[in-house]
Structure 1
Amino acid sequence: MRRTTTPHRRLAGALVLGAALLATGCSAPGASSSDSADGTKAGPINFAVIDAQSGQFSSLGHWEHNGVQLAVDEQNADGGVCGRKLTLTQFDDQGDPTTGTTLAQKVATGDFTAVFGSANSGVSLAMIPILGQAQLPEMTSGQSPKLEATGSPFMFLNSPTSTTFDTTLAKYAVSTKGFSQIAMITNNGAYGSGEHDAFLAALKDLGVAPVADEVVTPDQKDFSAALTSIRQQNPDALFIGAEEVESGLIAK
C-alpha cells in the first residue's frame, strides 16, 4: 500500500531532522562531516514539546505532540541522525502563560536541542524571552502576529500568521461571496486579538465595516448576550476568532 504524506507531516519531519542535524554538527546526507573520526558526538538528541495536554486548549496540544512524536519515531526507524537516536519529552503548559514560563525555564537549563510549542500563542509569547536567552530554537504553530513581531532569531513559525489567513478570508467573503453585512465575535486572548485585528483591517481595506464586533474572554462559556446582539443585525456571515473549543461553543 502506498503511504501518503500530508504537508504538516512533511513539515514536522523536516523541522525535527533540521534541528537534529544542527545538534549533531554532522552534515546533511551526501555532504561531508566537519567532525573528526575520534570527535564524533554520541548519545541521544533530546527535544521538548511544551503544549497543553490538559484544559481547554488540550486538543491543540495533542495534535502538535502527536505530529512531532510521529516525526521522531519515523526518523528513529530510519536510523536516527548520524547514528544518534532522537528523544521527545512532553511538558503540559495547560494553555497557561505562567505555567509555560516555568516550563521554558526548566527546558532552558536542561539537555535539549530545540522546543516544539506552544500551539497557544499566549504561551509561546511568554516563552520566547527565556528560550531566546538560552539560544534554544522554538518552533511554534501559534498564529498571532505578535509572535513574528518579537523578531526573535530563535523563534520559528510553522504556519502563516492570522494576517495571511484573515486577509484571504475577508477577500473571499466580500469579493467572491458578495457579503457586506459581516459580524465578528473574537476573544481577547493573544490568538483572538490577532484574529480580530487582522480581519478587521482586511475588511477596512475592502471598504466594509462590521455590523457587530463582539469581544469575549478565552474561557467564556455563555455567549447568549453577544450572539443576541449579533442576531439583531441580521448579518450575512459571522466571523469567529477563537480557539477550537470556544469556536465550537459559539457555533453551537
Structure 2
Amino acid sequence: MSKKSMRLAGGIALSLALILSGCGAQGGNTPAGTGGQQPSGGEIKIGLPLPITGSEATFGKDMQNAINLAVSQINAKGGVDGKKIVTVTEDDACDPQQATAAANKLVSEGVVAVVGGYCSGAVIPTLTIYNAKNIPFVITAANSSKIAKENPGNTFEINGTLEYEAQRAVELFKSLGVKNLAIVEQGDAFSADLARLAEADWKATGNPVVAHEVTNKGEQDFSSLVTTLRTKKPDMVFWTAYYADGGLLIKQLRQGGYKGPITVGDGSADPKLIQVAGPAGEGTYVLSPPVASYLPAAKQFVADYKAQYHQSPGDYSALAYDGMNLMAHALKQAGSTDGKAIIKALAETKDFPGIAGKINFTAEKTLKGSNIIVLQIKNGKFTAAQ
C-alpha cells in the first residue's frame, strides 16, 4: 500500500471511530441533578471534596478512608438498589480557589452527590456550584455558621455548628472559674466565626474578653503576641484555628511564661497538635467532634478501620463514615439518582442511626443538637476531660 493510501485508510478509520464515539455519547451520562438516572453500568458516582494536600491533609485522608470504608461495606451488601457506589476524590487543599476548581471538576465528571468538606472557607464558595446542578452535599466536618446562611438549599451539615461549639466553650470556661478571656484566631471563615461567637457568648455572661488577636496562617514567631497576651493577664487563652500553628502558639506561650489554661477549637483536635506543642501541650483543653475512640456505637467501625488501613481512625472519621451511610440511605429513599429527589430525602431524615449519634436536621439543614465533646491532653495523649 502506498503512503498516500495508508494515510487515506487511516483517515477513514479515524473518522469512523469518531462517528461511533459520537453515537455512543448520545445515549451517555445524563448531567448530574438534571432529573435523569445516572447510567454507567449500574454505578452511582459520588464526589469527595477533601484536603488531600496542604496542612490539613491528615484530616482529609482520614475522612477519605472512612468514606471509602463505608462504600466498601455498602457495596458488599448489594450497593444501592443493586448499583455499586464509586467515589471520585478531588483535592480542595482547604483553599477557596482550589476548592472551586475541584467542585467544577466533580460536576464535569457527573457526580450525583457529594460527601466531604473539611475547611469552611473552602466549602462556602462551592455551595452554589453544586446547587446549580441540584447536587446534594452532605458536609461532614465544616461547620461555620456562614454555611447555613449561604446554603442555597442542597447542603446538609452533620457536624455540630459553631454556635454549639461556642456554647460548649463558654460552659467549659465557666466550670474552670475563668473571668478574663483572651481569644486568638486567624481571620479565616472557620476560626474567625468561632472567635466571634465565643466572644459574644462570653460577654453575655458578664465577663470580659481582654484580648482578641488575629495571626497569619503559617506564622512561626509568636513572641510579640505572647508579650501582648501576658500584659492582658487572661485566665484562659482560646485558640480557634488549626493545630499546626496552634501547637507552636502553645509552646511559645509556655516558653514566654504564661501559666494559665489553654483551650483550642475543633480545628486543632488532632494528635499532631501534641507532637507540635510537645510537653508544653500538657493540660490543654480540646473542643472536639465526636471521636470514634470515645463512641460506644463506633467499636466495630474502629476495628474495621484498623483492619483496613492499619492505623486508628482520626477525629472526623466517624462523621465521614456517617455522612456516606446517610447519603446511601437517602439514595435508597429517593429510589433515584435525581438530585431533587435525594435532597428531599435528606431533608426528611428522621433519627438516622449514625455511629456519632442520631442525625436530624433543623430547618436550616444543620445538625439538630450539639455533638461537641471536650478532651484534654494528659500524659501526652488525648483523654476525655473530667
Q: TM-score, normalised by structure 1?
A: 0.79
User: What is the aligned partner in structure 2 of residue 31 from structure 1?
Assistant: none
User: What is the aligned partner in structure 2 of residue 199 from structure 1?
Assistant: 198
Matching of residue 210 in structure 1 with residue 209 in structure 2 = yes
**Aligned-partner Cα distance in 2 for 1:52–1:81:** 27
Q: 1:171–1:206: 8 Å Cα contact kept in structure 2?
A: no
**Aligned-partner Cα distance in 1 for 2:78–2:245:** 42
Q: 2:49–2:89: 8 Å Cα contact kept in structure 1?
A: yes
Q: 2:88–2:106: 8 Å Cα contact kept in structure 1?
A: no
User: What is the aligned partner in structure 1 of residue 81 from structure 2?
Assistant: 82
The residue matched to 1:232 in structure 2 has which SS?
A: helix
**Aligned-partner Cα distance in 1 for 2:245–2:179:** 25
Aligned ranges 1:225-236 → 2 under 5 Å: 225-236=224-235
1:196-237 Cα offsets, whole Å, 9 max, x none, are 111111111111111221111233333221122112223221
User: What is the aligned partner in structure 2 of residue 249 from structure 1?
Assistant: 248
Matching of residue 99 in structure 1 with residue 98 in structure 2 = yes
Matching of residue 172 in structure 1 with residue 172 in structure 2 = yes
User: What is the aligned partner in structure 2 of residue 108 from structure 1?
Assistant: 107
User: What is the aligned partner in structure 2 of residue 163 from structure 1?
Assistant: 163
User: What is the aligned partner in structure 2 of residue 64 from structure 1?
Assistant: 63
**Aligned-partner Cα distance in 2 for 1:91–1:181:** 43
1:88-131 Cα offsets, whole Å, 9 max, x none, are 11111122110111111111222212112320101100101111
- Bigger drift between 72-81 and 242-251 goes to 242-251
Q: CA RMSD in A?
A: 2.1
Task: Give 1:41 deviation, angstroms.
Answer: 9.6
Runs of 4+ in 1 over 4 A off after TM superposition: none
With a CA cutoff of 8 Å and minimum separation of 6, indicate the structure with the bigger relative contact order: 2
Distance 1:160 1:237, change over 3 A: same
- Bigger drift between 222-231 and 114-123 goes to 222-231
1:151-190 Cα offsets, whole Å, 9 max, x none, are 321111111111111112112212x221102111111001
1:165 partner amino acid: E
Q: 1:183–1:210: 8 Å Cα contact kept in structure 2?
A: yes
Runs of 5+ consecutive residues of structure 1 not aligned to the other structure = 1-22, 26-34
Q: What percent of counterpart residues are identical?
A: 26
Matching of residue 152 in structure 1 with residue 117 in structure 2 = no
Distance 1:207 1:217, change over 3 A: same
User: What is the aligned partner in structure 2 of residue 142 from structure 1?
Assistant: 142
Q: 1:218–1:242: 8 Å Cα contact kept in structure 2?
A: no
Q: 2:90–2:106: 8 Å Cα contact kept in structure 1?
A: no
The residue matched to 1:179 in structure 2 has which SS?
A: coil
Matching of residue 119 in structure 1 with residue 99 in structure 2 = no
2:42 partner amino acid: G
- Bigger drift between 79-88 and 215-224 goes to 215-224
Task: Give 1:247 deviation, angstroms.
Answer: 2.0
**Aligned-partner Cα distance in 1 for 2:197–2:61:** 27
**Aligned-partner Cα distance in 2 for 1:139–1:249:** 33
Q: 1:189–1:217: 8 Å Cα contact kept in structure 2?
A: no
User: What is the aligned partner in structure 2 of residue 53 from structure 1?
Assistant: 52
Task: Give 1:42 deviation, angstroms.
Answer: 5.4
User: What is the aligned partner in structure 1 of residue 364 from structure 2?
Assistant: none
Q: TM-score, normalised by structure 2?
A: 0.53
Task: Give 1:71 deviation, angstroms.
Answer: 1.0
Aligned residues: 215
